[in-house]
Amino acid sequence: MIKNQKQAAATKTRLAELVAAKAEFEAKELDTTTVKYRLGINSMNSLIEELQNDIHVYEGLVNGSFHLLQAKCLEEVPNVLIAARLAQKMTHKHLGELVGLKEQQIQRYEATDYETASWPRIVEIAMALNVHFKFEKNMIMNASNDDMFEYAENISKEQVQQVSEGIRKSGSLLNVAKP
């Protein structure tokens, strides 16, 4: 995720370099049917697409084009906080003032994706940004192998274990095949 104007400029420069390198690679390669050529082109196209997407998202945030930011898991919370600050055109200094921190501390938090911030501090920053998180479909499973429940007559312990394994693999009850 691009977090500031400096990173945006560096990403645009890298994108231009990559597009030029791709054009040079295409011009040099005589046989476009080789695996080397296809892998090279596919790799470059993938990187170009990723950089273009990063630039598009950053510019959309700073231009006010995005209004819904959604974290699907806790690991995405830092990106939502950074995106919310960008979308509101809020400086590090202003956010710091709202939560009683120096501008440099907000910059450090963002540079490290809030790794050093405590959970209460993250909540405080989210509130200052008027960001509300809603997490759904959470499931807590016992990690031990001990039986916690009595099984109905038509359900065996093996069936429960099979479904439990399916949930662990897919992360959802929706994708578990029936035993």
Task: Say whether both 116 and 74 belong to one domain.
Answer: yes
Nearest to 168 by CA among 139, 145, 148, 136: 139
Task: Say whether both 58 and 72 belong to one domain.
Answer: no
For 14-49, write each residue's pLDDT tens digit: 999 999 999 999 999 888 888 989 999 999 999 999
Contact (CB, 8 A) for 90 and 35: no
Of 66, 94, 123, the domain-final residue: 66
Residue 144 has pLDDT above 80, yes or no: no
Contacts of 66-75 with C-beta under 8 Å, sequence gap 24+, read 69/131, 71/133
Distance CA 69, CA 85 (A): 11
The CATH code of the domain that includes 126 is 1.10.260.40
Which pLDDT band holds residue 179 (cuts at 50, 70, 90)? very low
| Structural domains counted in the chain | 3
Of 32, 66, 100, the domain-final residue: 66
Of 23, 44, 66, the domain-final residue: 66
Better pLDDT: 155 or 95: 95
The predicted structure's pLDDT at residue 80: 93
Cα 10 vs. chain centroid, distance in angstroms? 20
- To which residue do tokens 């998202």 refer? 57
Q: Which helix (H) or strand (E) holds 163?
A: helix 157-170
The predicted structure's pLDDT at residue 158: 82
Task: Say whether both 22 and 32 belong to one domain.
Answer: yes
Better pLDDT: 161 or 110: 110
- The two tokens of residue 57 are 């998202």
Task: Say whether both 33 and 8 belong to one domain.
Answer: yes
Domain range spanning residue 165? Answer: 137-179
Asked whether the CA dihedral 94, 96, 99, 102 is positive or negative, the reply is negative
